[in-house]
Amino acid sequence: MLGPVDQQSRNSANPLIAKIQRLFSRDLALENDFLRQENKILRSKLGSRVPLTETDRRMLVKYGLRIRTRLGEVISIAKPETLLAWHRRQKQRKWTFDKPAKAPGRPRKSEGNEALIIRLAEENGGWGYKRISGELKKLGHRACPSYVRNVLRRHGLPPAPNRKGLSWKQFLQAHLHVTWAADFFTDEVWTFGGLVTFYVLFFIHLGTRRLWIARSTPQPRRTWMAQQARNFSMVVEDWNLPSHYLIHDQDCSFAALDHVLKTDQLTILKTPPHTPLCNAYAERHVREIRETLNQLILLGESHLHRTLRSIQDHHNVQRPHQGLGNVIPLGFDYSAEPASPLEVQRHATVGGLLNHYSVEQAA
């Protein structure tokens, strides 16, 4: 039992505690009112539907069930029925151990694996599914033949027997050292009769990039072309370069040249119409010659011939070629030691348009 003093002190303290509780409840109610209004404003800014993650739903269920009786007055993101549905779904997952559904069948390989399969198929037209699967096994990739087949089908690549043969680029790369290319280019030359268009015929060996420029003529007639074909045969023999293929376009001027050159040892390959990239090596060389000729005013046929001879010599014995690893087509004496700047000598041709440098040998 409480004594008289304890009972008196308790009675005197109860009104104070009750008053503090009333003040605290009023402040809390005002704070809740403010938060509700703030939530309504924010809700109106966010739109009709707020995207929620599974973690967000769990938090709302956790705290919403504590105020279930007043949930309809407070909640604004979802309906109370929706919150209860989330709660039921969480209980089901707890006891059923629900996990995200997996796609049926084997897991799909990485995109890099598929890209490697496509690359092997395109670079090796005769390889079948088993051959590609075996090659992948060498590289540490696991891919059964049926998977390889499915990948090739998705990318429109047929089986090996029906796949396309060598591409034109692959053919050229495989036959560079036995292939020549021929082409014409024109230039305007001033003569006593005025400005005349001259046709220049040239041949380039794709493997070594060695260039031979034939004579020029205002009219590439049949007899002139036949003579250039015979001259070309002698050049090939003197240079001792193999020649199994000759590439040129379908210009009718090449008919006489083909008649002389076509033998059992030499096959003529004509590019399709309007496809300069099929004779890209020759087209690139035309651009190289143009870079020089466009800087000149040619006065007479002899001036044109001297300029072309200088371009040919510069191309064959003076200019490094990037396609050959920055070496010169014909043999060149490379210096064993770095040259001193004072020993470097400039050699200019065609009025300084074509330059090359060498080390001046001491007397």
Mean pLDDT of the chain: 80
Distance CA 80, CA 224 (A): 98
Q: What is the CATH number of domain 173-332?
A: 3.30.420.10
pLDDT in tens, 53-74: 777 777 777 777 677 666 666 6
340: DSSP letter: P
Residues 180 and 247 sit within 8 Å (Cβ to Cβ)? yes
C-alpha closest to that of 230 among 265, 257, 266:
257
The domain locations on the chain are: 18-48, 50-95, 127-164, 173-332
Question: What pTM value is reported for the model?
Answer: 0.58
Distance CA 207, CA 324 (A): 9
Q: How many CB atoms lie within 10 A of CB 328?
A: 17
Of residues 203 and 355, the one with the higher pLDDT is: 203
363 confidence band (pLDDT: 50, 70, 90): very low
pLDDT in tens, 242-261: 889 999 999 998 999 999 98
342: DSSP letter: G
Distance CA 315, CA 328 (A): 8
Give the pLDDT of residue 304. Answer: 93
Answer yes or no: is pLDDT of 97 > 90: no
CA dihedral (260, 262, 268, 270) in degrees, to 10, reads 50
305 confidence band (pLDDT: 50, 70, 90): very high
Residues 213 and 233 sit within 8 Å (Cβ to Cβ)? no
2 confidence band (pLDDT: 50, 70, 90): very low
Give the pLDDT of residue 164. Answer: 63
Mean pLDDT (whole number) for 158-167 = 68
3-class DSSP state of 350: helix
C-alpha closest to that of 359 among 331, 350, 338:
338
* Angle in degrees, CA 287, 292, 295, rounded to 5: 120
Residues 207 and 321 sit within 8 Å (Cβ to Cβ)? no
Distance CA 238, CA 217 (A): 24
